[in-house]
Amino acid sequence: MARALPAGYRRRAFDTLPSTNGEALAAARVGDPGRLWITAQEQTQGRGRRGRTWTTGRGNLAASLLLIDPAPAALAPTLSFVAAVALHRATIDVAGPAVAERLALKWPNDVLLDRHKVAGILIEGEVLASGRFAVVVGIGVNCATHPEATDTHAASDFRGRGVPMEAEALFEAVAVRLASEIETWDGGAGFAPTRRAWLARASGLGEVIRVNLGDRVIEGRCETLDQAGRLVVVRAGGGRVAVSAGEVFLVGAG
């Protein structure tokens, strides 16, 4: 039997959807009050960062949480770190503490297992006709399978790396953990504890990384996450760069 969601949260579960994020935004446009989870057994046109697709086969987790006016627009992107911390904790809840040392978070929105991507998070926002601000926290997890090839990183899945992971059990744990982390985050005012929790789980700190900024690539040592959620990189020639958007490659990871 499915566990009850945290108080105030609801869920609409589908067999197949093009995109759980898209369905959540559609609900917002017709007046949904938020705190609504959209899940699908299969997602055929899921969205990733930079316009990439994130197809979710059966046995994997595709889930999106709709929030209405959760924070000022400038602070809403930090929900990516809130969701990452929640997903990290939920994974350990389901798989057990032994998996903790194999898990890490990669800026800005990935979860790694043995330095391979097993989950991604996408935050989307929209100002509605009513003036309300809708934010969707999209979470995709490779529980049982993963894409055969990706253009930017090595992808994997929990089952393939010897960690049993059932999508429904993970969703239930994520729903509980994310509700708690959102309370701590407190509309962005409580980002400091979220930042500390994220840094404690971060991959690549102190390592040399490359960051694709779209128009150029920078390389340097990954130093920290600043108070606005930007990645701070110390370049070889000196000087710090605070990156607000980009794609990180762990140089030592291949």
* pLDDT at position 94: 98
- Tell me, yes or no, whether 212 and 92 share the same domain: no
In sequence order, the β-bridge partners of residue 133 are 127
Spell out the residues 6+ positions from residue 44 whose beta carbon is closer than 8 angstroms to its own: 16, 17, 18, 55
Domain assignment of residue 67, yes or no: yes
CA 220 to each of CA 205, 233, 242: distance values in angstroms, whole numbers, following the listed order: 11, 6, 12
Where does a domain end: 200, 223, 240? Answer: 200
Sign of the Cα torsion 15, 91, 120, 186 reads positive
Residue 1 has pLDDT above 50, yes or no: no
* pLDDT at position 253: 47
In sequence order, the β-bridge partners of residue 119 are 111, 141
> What is the per-residue pLDDT across 8-22, written as a single tens digit (0 to 9) for each?
999 999 999 999 999
- Tell me, yes or no, whether 150 and 225 share the same domain: no
- Tell me, yes or no, whether 218 and 242 share the same domain: yes
Residue 67 has pLDDT above 60, yes or no: yes
Taken as a whole, the chain contains a residue count of: 254
Distance CA 95, CA 140 (A): 17
CATH number at residue 238: 2.30.30
Where does a domain end: 160, 182, 200? Answer: 200
> What is the per-residue pLDDT across 156-193, written as a single tens digit (0 to 9) for each?
999 999 999 999 999 999 999 999 999 999 999 999 99
Per-residue pLDDT, averaged over 84-106, amounts to 97
Residue 49 has pLDDT above 60, yes or no: no
* pLDDT at position 207: 87
Domain assignment of residue 111, yes or no: yes
- Tell me, yes or no, whether 123 and 186 share the same domain: yes
Domain assignment of residue 2, yes or no: no
User: How many structural domains is the chain composed of?
Assistant: 2
The answer to whether the predicted template modeling score (pTM) of the entire model surpasses 0.85 is yes
Distance CA 16, CA 253 (A): 35
pLDDT-derived band at 200, boundaries 50, 70, 90? very high
Domain that holds residue 241: 208-253
- Least trusted range by pLDDT, from 17-21, 33-37, 41-45: 41-45
* pLDDT at position 148: 67
Domain assignment of residue 141, yes or no: yes
- Tell me, yes or no, whether 133 and 226 share the same domain: no
- Tell me, yes or no, whether 80 and 111 share the same domain: yes
- Tell me, yes or no, whether 95 and 141 share the same domain: yes
- Tell me, yes or no, whether 112 and 174 share the same domain: yes
Domain assignment of residue 3, yes or no: no
- Tell me, yes or no, whether 33 and 115 share the same domain: yes
> What is the per-residue pLDDT across 110-168, written as a single tens digit (0 to 9) for each?
999 999 999 999 999 999 999 999 999 999 999 999 876 554 456 899 999 999 999 99
Higher pLDDT, 26 or 235: 26
Average pLDDT over all residues of the chain:
90
Residue with token string 């000196």: 238
- Tell me, yes or no, whether 173 and 238 share the same domain: no
The token duo for 253 is: 């990871």
- Tell me, yes or no, whether 181 and 57 share the same domain: yes
Where does a domain end: 200, 217, 233? Answer: 200
- Tell me, yes or no, whether 243 and 120 share the same domain: no
* pLDDT at position 254: 43
